[in-house]
Structure 1
């Protein structure tokens, strides 16, 4: 994997993804609405991380 320079925005996105993952680990699996919200947030976080990596490949 190629290494690249991260800027402040990249670091923010990584930290936000870590926060969402930590929140998901503490989630009550019996709460369907919370599960749906968390899955949506995780999808967004993952998409942003992948976008960040794709920007570096160009």
Structure 2
């Protein structure tokens, strides 16, 4: 798969972590409030990282 712009190793790690978070969310126990809270926190972090990749560190 080709990228529209150059990615650093750090960018690739951030993207990999986002993919891992997404995969983990598919196995999430929706009845476990603590697990859901952790997943929301993880999603917030990876979305912020992905936005930094797209926009550049500001």
Which TM-score applies when normalising by structure 1?
A: 0.87
2-side partners of 1:51 and 1:7: how far apart?
12
Counterpart residue number, 2:21: 20
Larger proportion of helix = 1
* Structure 1 stretches of 4+ moved >2 Å: none
Q: Secondary structure at the match of 1:52?
A: helix
Counterpart residue number, 1:30: 31
Give the alignment's Cα RMSD to 1 decimal.
1.6
Stretches of structure 1 that go unaligned for 5 or more consecutive residues are none
Stretches of structure 2 that go unaligned for 5 or more consecutive residues are none
Which TM-score applies when normalising by structure 2?
A: 0.87
